[in-house]
Amino acid sequence: MATVVATRFEPLIRDFYQRLLSKGKPYKVAVTACMRKLLTILNARMRDYFAENGIQTA
């Protein structure tokens, strides 16, 4: 559900989603690709947050 909202309101994800649809990708393929991209972005943000605040991970 978060990905569907991101395809409407988050400019980076929205542009990526529209680009996939314009290339003829099916809806589910485009949404799944956006899920992966969103997860990658969130993981990078967490990595940077932990590094800035000196939080150690296992």
Instruction: Categorize the per-residue pLDDT at 52 as very low, low, confident or very high, splitting at 50, 70 and 90.
Output: very high
DSSP-derived letter for residue 23 is: T
Say how many C-beta atoms besides its own lie within 10 A of residue 39's C-beta. Answer: 12
Domain segments of the chain: what residues?
Answer: 2-53
> Percent of the chain, pLDDT > 70?
100
Question: pLDDT band at 23, cuts 50/70/90?
Answer: very high
User: What's the whole-number average pLDDT of the chain?
Assistant: 96
At 50, list the tokens: 């932990």
Question: How does residue 58 score in pLDDT terms, banded at 50, 70 and 90?
Answer: confident
